[in-house]
Chains A and B, each alone.
Chain A
Amino acid sequence: MLLALPATILVACLLVFPIAEATYYSFTSWNGETARFVGLSSYSQLLFHTTAIRQIFQNNLAVVLSIPVGLAFALVAAFLTSLKVPGWRPFRFIVFLPVALSWVVIGIIFSDFLTPGQGIDSLLGAVGLHAIALDWLGSTHTALPALLATFNWALFGINTVIFMTGLASIPPEVIEAARVDGAGFFTILRHIVMPLLGRFVRLAFLVTMISGFSGMFGLIYVMTAGGPGFSTTTLEFQIYQSAFTLGNFGQAAALGIFLLLIMLVVTFVINMIGRRKAADLW
């Protein structure tokens, strides 16, 4: 028991206690030092007051919705890699490489790549698409999609590797048996491969979500600073802004509790989907 004591104390002081405090402070007007109880006012302000907050929630929704798209690409790549065709090892090395890069580095590289006249423009020009050369990060329409693409690019490799492990975990006999019983290719895919891969899909989704908290913050900080306007501000970034730019710690705490609730709801939904007969999903 003593062996677990240091970890327990640290978790209690550094994680559990701050979350409890955040919950309390979200009901106060707090500047970091003195807190005055104001009930639900922070929350009602957040929910009913500003259009900015609506934009921010939409942006967070966009982040969550972009994840399945990224996962679908990773799944295709994992299928291909699982064939163990010539070149799969270098491929895995390359796609997994962004794991080693910080969000700051990725942000700096992609800011540069997406700058008008730089990498992406030359690339589009080379294939005759001069017409869609845009100021990707400078326009309210394209800044968020550009960030989401960068985000999913960075996590593509992790998810590919998770799915590869998943595919490798399916016993060949199971598939063989199904084929002997006359199951066609798509039947096997839908009723055997996908259900058995279910928990890996859940894992990949959650890993991406959790990475999103530090990841999107880093990318936004480096690439757009939340702009133009609020077009790339997410809850994570607004928490930082509220507390350290505006000095409104109470509002920041309330936003943090919102973020936690969103995380819990998404986790719950993902687990519910997993617990249903997985085959229904596909």
Chain B
Amino acid sequence: MVSARLPDILSPDALTGTEQLIAGRRRRHLAASITLLVIGVALIYPLVDVIIASFRFQGTGTFTLRYWRAVFHQMPVWHQLGVSALVTGASVAGVLAVSVPAGYAYAKLSFRGARVIFGVTIACMMIPVESMIIPEYANLAKVGLVGSVLGTVLVFVGLGIPLSVFLMASYFKSLPDALVESGLVDGAGHLRIFLSIMLPLALPAIVTIGVLEFLAVWNDLLIALLFLPIQSQTIAVGLAALQGNHILNTYVLVAGSVLSALPPMLVYMLFQRYLVAGLTMGVNR
């Protein structure tokens, strides 16, 4: 029974007769397929159940769009989606602008203090947001950046840099040094080599960190809650605040939630393989 759940290559009877092997493999594969189906259905069930309920009138069987229509009247969804898009777009651009060159510098150039600074930068991945957010809030309040989009984007960019620099550096390290050397021989400077040779080659990694940052910012609650102006909230904050107040019908909130999840879902569908790559990019090196 246990062997039915494991890769063929691991099963003790993989060297028995060919026919028996094929029959056994089919049976095992069928069992595995069914198990996957059961797990998949169990996992997705809460989502589907709640979303279907949002189309039913007061939990009865009657189909209705009232909760879905109500979202647009009872929440400033378009404004909030706009704020989410603005903050997310600016943060992704900011993170890419500073992390990609930094990753290149740490991977291919040697300069004084590079190791230490790189070490400190990636160690910051371990800092819990909540540990630094209180002084950060006080600091930005002093320079008037609390309650502004700029301040919010700055905080997101700061938080996104460590992982992005780490992933970019890992990726640039995997590109051959000969590319840089041949560029130098041809008389190009490091900036030139970076821009015209390395940047195009690093596109997959750039997409990966862009997608990771997009999801992190779009889906964030705490930073947007603290740093954005009260009248311009992201959709995540808008939903969370309404959920806490118990003002709106829960199915209106569910409808709003699904609506807010559409852009990240689209990104997920388009870039799934970059996400998968990004998750394990650093681990092999």
Could you list which residues of chain A lie within 8 angstroms of chain B, going by C-beta atoms?
Answer: 1, 3-4, 6-8, 10-11, 13-19, 21-22, 25, 32-33, 76-77, 79-83, 85-88, 90-91, 93-97, 99-105, 107-113, 115, 117-120, 122-123, 153, 156-158, 161-162, 165-167, 169, 172, 175-176, 179, 184-185, 188-189, 193, 199-200, 203, 207, 210, 213-214, 217-218, 221-222, 225, 235-236, 239-240, 243-244, 249, 252-253, 255-257, 259-260, 263-264, 267
Contacts and interface: CB of A to CB of B under 8 A. Distances in A.
Contact of A185 (B12, B222, B253): B12
Given A13-B158, A107-B243, A184-B12, A158 B236 contact: no
Nearest to A159: B279
Interface of B: 2-3, 5-12, 14-15, 28-30, 32-33, 35-37, 39-40, 43-47, 49-51, 53, 59, 97-99, 101-102, 104-106, 109, 111-112, 114, 117, 120-121, 124-139, 141, 154-155, 157-159, 161-162, 165, 190-191, 194, 215, 218-222, 226, 236-237, 239-240, 243-244, 250-251, 253-254, 257-258, 260-261, 264-265, 267-268, 272, 275-276, 279-280, 283-284
Contacts of B251: 112
B23 to A, nearest CB: 15
A7 B46 contact: no
Contact of B280 (A77, A104, A162, A188): A162
Contacts of B257: 104-105, 108-109
A270 to B, nearest CB: 11
B53 A214 contact: no
Nearest to A22: B135
B58 to A, nearest CB: 11
Given A3-B104, A16-B120, A111-B243, A79 B11 contact: no
A80 B130 contact: no
B263 to A, nearest CB: 9
Contacts of B221: 102-104, 214, 217-218, 221
B250 A111 contact: yes
Contact of A15 (B3, B9, B162): B162
Contacts of B50: 109, 112-113, 118-119
Top 4 A-B pairs, shortest CB-CB distance: A14-B158, A102-B219, A100-B268, A7-B102
A18 B139 contact: yes
A83 B128 contact: no
A253 B98 contact: no
A175 B114 CA distance: 40
* Secondary structure call for the A interface: helix
Nearest to A211: B216
A207 B240 CA distance: 24
Nearest to B124: A15
Contacts of B6: 79, 83, 185, 189
Contacts of B258: 105
Contacts of B131: 19, 22, 239, 256-257, 259-260, 263
A131 to B, nearest CB: 21
Given A118-B53, A207-B279, A256-B134, A169 B284 contact: yes
A19 B190 CA distance: 34
A220 to B, nearest CB: 10
B239 A104 contact: yes
A10 B98 contact: yes
A218 B240 contact: yes
Given A80-B5, A100-B267, A217-B221, A93 B226 contact: no
A237 to B, nearest CB: 8
B262 to A, nearest CB: 10
Given A18-B139, A81-B36, A161-B279, 10 more contacts: A7-B121, A18-B133, A21-B135, A79-B7, A85-B30, A85-B33, A87-B33, A100-B265, A108-B243, A235-B130
Contacts of B112: 1
Given A119-B50, A213-B129, A11 B105 contact: no
A4 B117 contact: yes
B7 A167 contact: yes
